[in-house]
Amino acid sequence: MSIRAVAAGAVVLVAAVAVSFSGQPSARAEQGPPPRTLPSLKAWTPGGAGFSLGAHARVWYDKDALRDTATDFALALRSFTGNDVVAQEGSSGGSGDITLGTGLLPDAPETPEAYRISIGETLELRGADIAGAFYATSSALQLLRQRPAIPGGTVTDWPQYRERSLMLDVGREFMPVDMLRAQIRRMGYLKLNLLHLHLSDSFGFRLDSDRHPEIAAAQHYSKQDIRDLVAYAARYQVEIMPEVDFPGHMNGILAAHPDLKLRSANGRVSDAAIDIANPRSYDLMRDILEEFLPLFPGRYWHLGADEFLLDGTRVASFDEYPQIGEYARATYGPQAQPVDAFLGLINWGADIVRAHGKRPRVWNDGLHTDAGTLTIGSDIVIDYWSRAGIPQLPLPFFGIARSPSDLIAAGHEVRNASFTPTYYVAGGPTAAGNVPPPIAYQIWDPTLFVDGTRLTPEQNTHNLGSGLFVWCDDPTVRTPDRIAASITMPLQVTAQQTWGPPQAGSYLEFSALADAVGEPAA
């Protein structure tokens, strides 16, 4: 997107002696400061003996489904402690050992991502499900990296938002598989759970196509690359969500199909937009969807649907394309407006996505107030980045796009993808809008949207969460390695704000904590 820079978790009181990290001490605080992780923990009850990792420690796991998590956890512990740590099936550990299991957590909301850490002579990690058990290991790794002994007590933790994401614009700048794997490891360490891959844009379609080999860029991912990446991400409790953007941002595809490019009445040709009045355009788009939907086993497919009439820096009007209005009236009735052809395309693509057992998603900017006679399916998730709408100047802070509250009232779930501060743009003039991490940490949370409106608690139950959206408007400016280094702190801030309160102190304290927990093991 060239011009773009959850349910709320129930808050419970686990015990009268609990110390939340808002800084309120308990009567037993003399045992030492509460343990600190990134993102910060929801609740801590101090007491009892502390834990030190044994020189020949075992990570005991009580079911085969935890084997990978236990094995990876043991390897990570060995890498930074030097201790002889191995994973072993079983359920009862001794002093200096760690146990890993799943089961009911009565002091936490009902989410599979909740977990509890009981700290004593044995470190007991328990998740509500596999995801929670994995997050317990992430927290335990961070705690043991900061100090060799953890004070006795009980941690109870859970996320506020269902989605805590990272989006990478690999359509404009190809990012090698090893770089993607490194970001997945980061995500698992920070309890982020959705990797959104923007797979097609100005500089390429990044998937190897059997049906249309002509559309694949020179640098692309093979189908086996994707299968391996999906499996790798699953070990870190990360779901991969693909996006192939229709009907705009299709430069990489349309370069091989110039006959399908959108042409105005005066002969102006768009390199980015496909002609949605041409039936053959739907044949090409259907082929792409049908080929790649089965490749990704996750719950979602992102249809894009943003900036359809944006051509370079110029924003066009539907009036310039009379064939679109004619198609809309012929397809949806004499009262149809030109925008109905666009809305109908979203519903058409959404039907194909649903037929493959997935849930469709789109960006929000093409959904205008009081525009069109059609409505899009209420099950479509809206990623809300801009209050602008086409046609008009694309200024994301105000405009004619439907508001977040209006979309929620219409039955949609949303993700807060605000142009500021969730966007990190690597290259191009829009990079000037990147918000410094201290500001994002101090003034923003996922209830605050790009137009300055804030959701009510009830509305926020329909907010899936937020993420960091990395756009590569000018792919010549930064290499993938430089991008990875540059997003280190923005990604840590994203993890904190989407996991939810309490915050980890001031930004200076948060920054020091980020240094202390470090990066995950390779």
> Binning pLDDT at 50, 70 and 90, where does residue 464 land?
very high
**CA gap 216, 220 in Å, rounded:** 7
102 pLDDT more than 90:
yes
> By mean pLDDT, which of 48-62, 301-315, 397-411 is the weakest?
301-315
pLDDT tens string 168-189? 999 999 999 999 999 999 999 9
24 pLDDT more than 50:
no
pLDDT tens string 467-483? 999 999 999 999 999 99
Mean pLDDT, the chain, rounded, equals: 92
Extract the tokens encoding 146: 């900061």
Cα Rg, the chain, nearest whole Å: 24
**CA gap 208, 231 in Å, rounded:** 18
pLDDT tens string 110-138? 999 999 999 999 999 999 999 999 999 99
Q: For 411-423, what is the mean pLDDT?
A: 97
Question: What pLDDT is stored for residue 316 in this prediction?
Answer: 86
- Say if strands 423-425 and 414-416 run parallel, antiparallel, or are unpaired: unpaired
Question: What pLDDT is stored for residue 427 in this prediction?
Answer: 87
- Residue among 244, 347, 249, 352 nearest 303 (CA): 244
Q: For 271-287, what is the mean pLDDT?
A: 98
Question: What pLDDT is stored for residue 26 in this prediction?
Answer: 31
Question: What pLDDT is stored for residue 25 in this prediction?
Answer: 32
**CA gap 504, 440 in Å, rounded:** 14
Question: What pLDDT is stored for residue 307 in this prediction?
Answer: 93
Tell me: cis bond preceding 480? Omega within 30 of 0 counts: no
Domain range annotation of the chain = 29-157, 163-499
CATH 3.30.430.20 fits 29-157, yes or no: no
Domain 163-499 in this protein, CATH class: alpha beta
In the sheet that holds 58-61, the strands lie side by side as 43-46, 153-157, 115-119, 123-127, 98-102, 58-61, 86-89
Question: What pLDDT is stored for residue 31 in this prediction?
Answer: 56
294 pLDDT more than 90:
yes
22 pLDDT more than 90:
no
Q: Taking the CB of residue 174, how many other CB atoms lie within 10 A of it?
A: 18
**CA gap 254, 458 in Å, rounded:** 43
pLDDT tens string 47-84? 999 999 999 999 999 999 999 999 999 999 999 999 99
If DSSP codes are grouped into helix, strand and coil, which group holds residue 453? coil
**Contact between 491 and 194 (Cβ < 8 Å):** no
pLDDT tens string 360-396? 999 999 999 889 999 999 999 999 999 987 655 568 9
519 pLDDT more than 90:
yes
**CA gap 370, 392 in Å, rounded:** 15
- Say if strands 239-246 and 261-263 run parallel, antiparallel, or are unpaired: unpaired
- Residue among 402, 397, 501 nearest 449 (CA): 397
Question: What pLDDT is stored for residue 393 in this prediction?
Answer: 57
